[in-house]
Amino acid sequence: MRKTKLISCLTLVVAIIMMSIGMIIQSKDYFNVKTEKVNMKDMTASAININDEKLEEKKETTELKTDISMDTAPAGYIKIEKVFSEISTEEAIAALQEGSLKMEYTAVYSYNGLTKSRGAMYFNGHKETYYSEKVLPGNSLAIPGRHVADDGTIRDADGYICVAADPTYAGKGTILITSLGPAKVYDSGCAYGTIDIYVSW
């Protein structure tokens, strides 16, 4: 009887030991991590390639592209030119001050301004009249690039209509908006508050 109990106990101990060994072996296999030799040269080369790619991307986004369109251009990059005949007087003055009013060398700025048959009118707080180079040649005015535009106004090289004004109202060189478009004062000799537009009518 004692022999049988002893054998049973031994068998049980052996079984427990075998189970423990099996569990240990399984856990070792489960958590076994394969290690591979890493080539440091390859890792360095990969890191350099990644950095180069990032630099190229940054370079592409910061460089100004030649084919910039209204959709892709950064804000404020494209200056939209305002056409005098399509905007209000207030917008024309603002555009003139910021340098975005489209200047025309000979083309007509507006079809609704002063005309030969309408010899005087009020516009933008001043009175407008005209005087003709056929009557007063104005050779002493020293207008750079002086020419006759399509609407018959006398303009300078920049496309400004040449006008006269009282020196205390608007001195020579003053830029202002008339009913016929942006103008520059080149002459004097008219009443205060009156802008005399130089034409070839």
- 3-state SS track over 83-149: CHHHCCHHHHHHHHHHCCECCCCCCCCCCCCCCCCCCCEEECCEEEEEEECCCCCCHHHCCCCCEEC
Q: How far is CA 161 from the centre of its chain?
A: 29
Domain boundaries, the chain: 106-199
Number of helices followed by number of strands (H, E) in the chain: 3, 8
Confidence grade of residue 43 (pLDDT, cut at 50, 70, 90): low
pLDDT single digits (tens) 74-116: 544 566 889 998 999 999 999 999 889 999 999 999 878 999 8
For residue 3, give the 3-state DSSP assignment.
helix
SS3 string of 40-91? Answer: HHHHHHHHHHHHHHHHHHHHHHHCCCCCCCCCCCCCCCCCCCECHHHCCHHH
The one-letter code for the residue type at 16 is I
Q: Which of 140, 120, 138, 117 is nearest to 129 (CA)?
A: 120
Higher pLDDT, 69 or 82: 82
pLDDT in tens, 129-167: 999 988 878 777 889 999 999 999 999 999 999 999 999
Give, as one character, the DSSP assignment of residue 150.
Answer: T
Provide the mean pLDDT of the chain: 79
* pTM (2 d.p.): 0.60
C-alpha 127/C-alpha 164 separation (Å) is 12
